[in-house]
Amino acid sequence: MVSSLVVTLVNLHQAKTHLSKYLQRAERGETIILCRHNKPIAELRPLPKPSGKRRQFGQCKGRFSLGPEFFEPLPGELLAYFSGNKA
């Protein structure tokens, strides 16, 4: 499925100056390619619209299982990364 047929190339300075304008264009379905010195580096595009339907629980039942080690506490070294004590 193609979400956008319109693609616009924009240099970073212009994008920063007029970000709101480019976000509005992306919301309308346009894809904006962000460039640094005329070289593409990133893409700004609209996200798909949510379906509005709630997902049903249990759709993956029986497809995978978690071993008992999943529920064990994490090692101290790994926990240190989460608390910012390791670089």
What confidence tens digit (pLDDT) does each residue in 13-54 have? Answer: 999 999 999 999 999 999 999 999 999 999 999 998 888 888
For 74, the 3-state DSSP assignment is coil
For 47, the 3-state DSSP assignment is coil
Whether pTM > 0.85 for this model: the answer is: no
1 pLDDT band (50/70/90 cuts)? very low
Domain residue ranges of the chain, discontinuous segments joined by + = 7-44
Burial class (CB in 10 A: 0-12, 13-18, 19+), 11: middle
Task: Provide CATH code, domain 7-44.
Answer: 3.40.1620.10
CB atoms within 10 A of CB 10: 20
For 48, the 3-state DSSP assignment is coil
Give the whole-number percent of the chain exceeding pLDDT 90: 52
Q: What average pLDDT does the segment 66-85 reach?
A: 88
